[in-house]
Amino acid sequence: MKFGDFELSIVRESTLSLDGGAMFGVVPKTLWEKSSPADELNRVKMHCNLLLIDTGSAKVLVETGMGDRWSAAERERYGLETHVAPEDAVRELGLSPEQIDFVIISHLHFDHAGGAVRLLDGKLVPTYPRARYIVQAGEWDFAFKANARARASYRPDDFVPLKESGQLQLVEGNTEITPGVFVRVTGGHTSHHQVVYFESGAEKGVFFADIMPTRSHLNPPWVMGYDHFPLTSCDVKSEYLAQAAEQNWLVVFDHEYGIPWGHIVKGEGPKGKFEFRPLPAQSLISTAQIC
């Protein structure tokens, strides 16, 4: 999809199912199941959506998804269906892994960093051999000292090989990665969670990552039980939604099961609700992306 002078593409890396109560925190099931129906195990179905930003001078991949290094038991637990192996993710877009210049990871939970590395000849190596992997320094530090509540979401094998290869680039705070592509720290989901903001010409957009994983999380108080700082998530969502609606940003949801990108509009009056208007399904360039 054209976006100013950029070209944007979505890759549906995998499908997974997570507990609905965990995904919506204190919101009653009678409310959230209207937009996110649960299965017999109370799980809601989601995608891992990767975003490829081709600026013309750099190719930036946002997130890497779950990857394919999961046991049968883990696949059953998460209802995990891998749609594309890590080394083939960008091949769906006519690219090779060697052509990716930057990989931005919003935070190091396994459903975002799992595809950052792959198993090659019995050794874990970066999936994108030329890329600089962008991670917040605070997120990196926390991944190794997470407490009992948080540590299950981190698998060091997903990201330690990035440092060993010399491809890890730790940043501190809001940073321009390449002209027109920025990371912005939001906190909330984790202390150093970052979103990706991008602009080209008059066009502006944001990849929300886990500060707003699906369209069902549009209401600011609807934050995940997984969030380390839920009150921060609520405040940050309010700020970003207001900007997105006022300036007509393209918004991208990392776990939306339906069409993952579109625009935000705000209803009339001071208490007007935010609504998501998805782009047409044809904006996804391949049938593999619509699954």
Fill in the amino acid letter for 106: S
Q: How far is CA 68 from CA 1, 14, 72, 98, in A?
A: 27, 9, 11, 19
The DSSP secondary-structure symbol of 114 reads: T
Domain extent listing, the chain: 2-290
Q: How far is CA 266 from CA 203, 231, 269, 278, in A?
A: 19, 22, 9, 14
> How far is C-alpha 62 from the geometric centre of its chain's CA atoms?
7
The confidence score (pLDDT) of residue 288 equals 43
Give the DSSP per-residue string, 150-209.
TGGGB-GGGTHHHHHTT-EEEE-SSEEEETTEEEEE--SSSTT-EEEEEEETTEEEEE-G
- Closest by Cα among 130, 129, 135, 122 to 62: 135
pLDDT in tens, 52-93: 999 999 999 999 999 999 999 999 999 999 999 999 999 989
Band of pLDDT at residue 291, cut at 50, 70 and 90 = very low
The confidence score (pLDDT) of residue 290 equals 40
Band of pLDDT at residue 269, cut at 50, 70 and 90 = low
Q: Let me know: does 208 contact 170? Beta carbons within 8 Å.
A: no
Strands 102-104 and 59-62: parallel
Q: Let me know: does 218 contact 177? Beta carbons within 8 Å.
A: no
Domain 2-290, second-level architecture: 4-Layer Sandwich (3.60)
**3-state class (DSSP) for residue 284:** coil
pLDDT in tens, 164-200: 999 999 999 999 999 999 999 999 999 999 999 999 9
pLDDT over threshold 90, residue 202: yes
The confidence score (pLDDT) of residue 35 equals 95
pLDDT in tens, 146-170: 999 999 999 999 999 999 999 999 9
- Closest by Cα among 257, 255, 249, 254 to 277: 249
Give mean pLDDT, residues 108-127: 97
Q: Which two tokens stand for residue 244?
A: 């997105």
Average pLDDT, the chain: 95
Give mean pLDDT, residues 23-35: 97
